[in-house]
Amino acid sequence: MEYVEAVLELVGLIPPGSAVSYGDVAELLGSGGPRQVGSVMSRHGSSVAWWRVLRASGAAPDGHEADALRHYLSEGTALRGNPEEYLRNGESSWRVDLRVARWQPSDADFDRIEALAEGLATASAKMSEANDGMTQ
DNA sequence: ATTCTGACTTGCT
DNA sequence: AAGCAAGCCAGAA
């Protein structure tokens, strides 16, 4: 449960108009990988601003392109391609311009993130410690 | 222990 | 730009 909470809280720190990739989240947390983060978002993302976490390519999560786009437009998130035409006939493609929209955590954010990462680290340390005890 | 499965990434055509 | 193969990480069966 720890990992899930850490991911959700981290996502909660991302301000409107910016975004990060699944891989970024894993890296900031110093634990797991893009797939783990994706898994968490898939199951618990509905309670947070899930559209602010997307693929490294800037493409919105599979099957949620339309919903995500609405948020990007209302938040003024930097986009590339033709979202307008996509809305009109669904034929054009678009991406979030991560080069511009990528979240730059503030010092305070980094402190919070560090705390989350630390929590995960000690949690996993306790687990392996417990396992060691089991095998002794 | 092994195999399968993902809201993933990267590198190569 | 679009498709494909491999690599990767954990949880579930």
Measured from the CB, is A65 under 7 Å from any atom of strand B?
Answer: no
Angle between helices A22-29 and A34-44 (to 10 degrees): 110
pTM above 0.95, yes or no: no
Give me the pLDDT at residue A89, please: 84
Instruction: Specify the CATH number of the domain A2-124.
Output: 1.10.10.10
Q: What is the mean pLDDT of residues A40-56?
A: 97
Domain coordinates of chain A in residue numbers?
2-124
Give me the pLDDT at residue A134, please: 44
Question: Considering only CA atoms, which residue is closest to the C1' of nucleotide C8?
Answer: A33
> Are the CB atoms for A11 and A50 separated by under 8 Å?
yes
> Are the CB atoms for A88 and A124 separated by under 8 Å?
no
Distance between the alpha carbon (CA) of A59 and the C1' atom of B12, Å: 21
Measured from the CB, is A46 under 7 Å from any atom of strand B?
Answer: yes
Nearby residues of A83 by Cβ (< 8 Å), 6 or more positions away: A69, A72, A73, A92, A94
pLDDT single digits (tens) A97-126: 999 999 999 999 999 999 999 988 766 665
Alpha-carbon gap, residue A80 to A39, rounded angstroms = 26
Q: Is A55 helix (H, G, I), strand (E, B) or coil?
A: coil
Give me the pLDDT at residue A15, please: 98
> Are the CB atoms for A111 and A9 separated by under 8 Å?
no
